Amino acid sequence: MTLLDGISASEALKNNIAEQVRTMQAQGLRLPKLAAILVGSNGASLSYVGNKVKMCEAVGFESALIELPENVSQESLLKEVDKLNSDPHVDGFIVQLPLPAHIDAQKITEAIDPHKDADGFHPANYGRMALNLPANIPATPLGILRLLSHFGVPTEGKNCVIIGRSQIVGSPLSILLARNAQPGNCTVTLAHSKTHNLKDLCLSADIIVAALGKPLFLTADMVTEGATVIDVGISRLPDSTRKSGFRLVGDVDFDNVAPKCAYITPVPGGVGPMTVAALMLNTLEAALRNRNQ
């Protein structure tokens, strides 16, 4: 069994990005810049944004954080988005999700300039991705592709079951793994809450991606010997033996599933670090496009 260590893989990607940034700097070019808008003080969001700012520093990017109150109006948030769209020094930016209930997240996403859409959520980027054209790819699916590539996980001709059809992970990943590319060329089944015989589908799969947000959902009796399992989920479960009072788990029952696998991601330390590194990659590529326009 090979552990798909996202920490080491993201470090390799980060080093590659940093090398390209040093080359840009040596040529007298402006450093890439990533901005983030954070609404409210959600603990998880603060942590995620903090990790992204640290990664910017590590690869040599400039960064900016715009913090807005929980009760900010949608109109005010749209004005902040427009400022970043118009700022020639910002190559990419994100609006950290989730947003408060009074704000239409889709409207905010569609207001972002697709060229600066570091998260890859804009419909224009989604459409270009589906047509296999250059695009900002959603960061988590892009991170998964990079993880598979880093460890040389075979995908061509494999049966892949993706559990979860979100527009952030499951749906775009199904397109990416089915395309004529490496990694890719899978026969993909996109499973969801209405899928019948999910266990049978999983047992026929060479690759399973669990991205539904239900802790320990994928159990050993759903996985065939030699499968590759990618765990996108992360949840807190109470654990009185831990100082924190909880432990982090994924959508996969790792302890029992791992012995059956050829490859498997851990939680934490699997897909998560790759998502942040992929965000940096989207920003770098946007910066390079800006230089060539």
Question: Alpha helices of 87-182 — where are they, by DSSP H?
Answer: 105-111, 123-130, 139-150, 170-178
Q: Quick check: is 14 catalytic? A: no
91, 117, 119, 251: the active-site residue: 119
14, 33, 91, 96: the active-site residue: 96
Inter-residue contact 209 to 144 (CB < 8 Å): yes
Q: At what angle do helices 123-130 and 170-178 cross, to 10 degrees?
A: 30
Q: For residues 268 and 291, what is the distance between their CA atoms, to the nearest angstrom?
A: 36
Strand partners, 236: 248
Strand partners, 259: none
Is the torsion defined by CA of 279, 281, 287, 293 positive or negative? Answer: negative
Inter-residue contact 173 to 162 (CB < 8 Å): yes
52, 116, 117, 251: the active-site residue: 52
Through-space distance between the first and last CA atoms of the chain, rounded to whole angstroms: 46
Q: Quick check: is 74 catalytic? A: no
Residues 6+ apart with CB under 8 A from 208: 160, 161, 162, 163, 202, 218, 222, 223, 227, 228, 229, 230
CA distances from 180 to 35, 131, 161, 169, 275 (A): 33, 11, 17, 19, 23
Give kind and range of the element (H or E) at residue 47. Answer: helix 43-59
Q: For residues 24 and 20, what is the distance between their CA atoms, to the nearest angstrom?
A: 6
Nearest one of 202, 218, 223 to 251, comparing CA atoms: 218
Active site residues: 52, 96, 119
